[in-house]
Amino acid sequence: MAFLPRAPRPLLFGWATASRTMATSPKKAVDFFYDVLSPYSWLGFEILCRYRDIWNIELRLRPSLISGIMKESGNKPPALLPKRGEYMSKDLMRMAKFCQVPLQPPKDFIGTVIVKGSLSAMRFITAVDLTQPQFVEAVSRELWMRIWSRDEDITQPENILAAAGKAGLSSDESKKLLEMTNLPEVKNRLKATTDEVLQHGAFGLPCSVIYVNSKPQLFFGSDRLELLGSLLGEKWLGPVPEVSKL
């Protein structure tokens, strides 16, 4: 009888206490600036979505335009440097496996990423953000799945509508949102968000911005989230925290 499992009780009580504290403490805001053209944005996006409840953060998804950031900052696509491009293709696959994200680079990388770009897709996400913000996460994920998992187009209207449908938007809603992409309101919103992250010091994407003592702190890439968590006073549990807690 002395071997009865009483030990877990304090742990369960501690967990319950922490849960009640989490429920009542104010959420810490994390602005995540991204473009679905960026595979590293997808990695950071999925990791922060996993940590949203664990860190009790208000994750604010901020669709931006990476081509505008590269142009204004004087940066160039890293894959255009042959040796760096060769390294990045290997690095992406290692990171995708590590982060458990089904990422697979498109066969025609230059044509897909450099030539076609993501302007139409990011304007569509911006329109979603303006009118149906509850669908921004799902629509963004579906567009990433198209370009970075299944090597499918994200520039043509029918393909954007297909992604929207998979994300849960009705056909009528999706068509209205697609029409909105030509409105100045949508174009200006995307430009304003892009300008905002540039003002924080961005030179690429993704970028996460938090405020410490009312001052913005910018983190570039998907491999600085451990440091971001540290400044938030939170514990890093790896890119797949659900597995780490088992």
How do the domains of the chain map onto residue ranges? 27-244
Pick the CATH number of 27-244 from 3.40.47.10, 3.20.20.150, 3.40.30.10, 3.40.50.620: 3.40.30.10
pLDDT for 79 equals 79
Distance, in Å, from the CA atom of 226 to the CA atom of 76, rounded to the nearest integer, reads 27
Instruction: Give the global pTM.
Output: 0.88
pLDDT for 5 equals 39
Phi, psi of 113 (to 5 degrees): -90, -45
Q: How many Cα atoms sit within 13 Å of 143 on the Cβ side?
A: 34
pLDDT for 198 equals 98
Q: Are 13 and 19 in contact (CB under 8 A)?
A: no
Residue 244 tokens, joined: 């780490």
pLDDT for 155 equals 98
Per-residue pLDDT of the chain (246 residues; tens, 9 = 90+): 333 333 333 333 333 434 444 445 789 999 999 999 999 999 999 999 999 999 999 999 999 999 999 999 999 888 788 898 889 889 999 999 999 999 999 999 999 999 999 999 999 999 999 999 999 999 999 999 999 999 999 999 999 999 999 999 999 999 999 999 999 999 999 999 999 999 999 999 999 999 999 999 999 999 999 999 999 999 999 999 986 555
Range 206-213 contact pairs with CB under 8 angstroms and sequence separation of 24 or more: 206/32, 206/33, 206/34, 206/38, 206/40, 206/41, 206/44, 206/45, 207/32, 207/33, 208/30, 208/31, 208/32, 208/33, 208/44, 208/48, 209/30, 209/31, 209/33, 210/28, 210/29, 210/30, 210/31, 211/29
pLDDT for 242 equals 84
- Rounded to the nearest 10 degrees, the angle between the axes of helix 119-131 and helix 157-166 is 40
